[in-house]
Amino acid sequence: QVQLSQSGGGSVQAGGSLRLSCVTTESSRAYGSYCMGWFRETPGTEPEKIAYIDSDGTTRYTDFVKGRFTISRDNAKSTLYLQMDNVKPEDTGMYSCAADLWREICPDKVGLFAFWGQGAQVTVSS
């Protein structure tokens, strides 16, 4: 059984910072041996990629968060993080972590991520 439990999120003013966390409970594979990512949804839209981290630690970001957001993982704690700095009102949305347990390199297709956290609302005010 795989569970992803998120914490963090909330309201912040533009220019501020937030950190999201995602703890994975999973016994069939060693944490860190597979791809994980952060996604964002806004009303009426499908989840969009924010950041990926491959099993070897390689990170990738969508263009509008590059230089402001940082994805990282602590394998000893089975925890994925998203550090959000210099946030903007357009960063507002529901943020979810997700795991693809069958791939070391994150796929482009959002639908291939089979396991998801419960989501956390991030609201940035101007």
Instruction: Output the CA torsion 48→51→52→57 (10° steps).
Output: 180
- Per-residue confidence (pLDDT) for residue 27, from 0 to 100: 67
**Tokens linked to 50:** 């924010």
Model pLDDT for residues 60-101, shown as the tens digit of each residue: 999 999 999 999 999 999 999 999 999 999 999 999 999 998
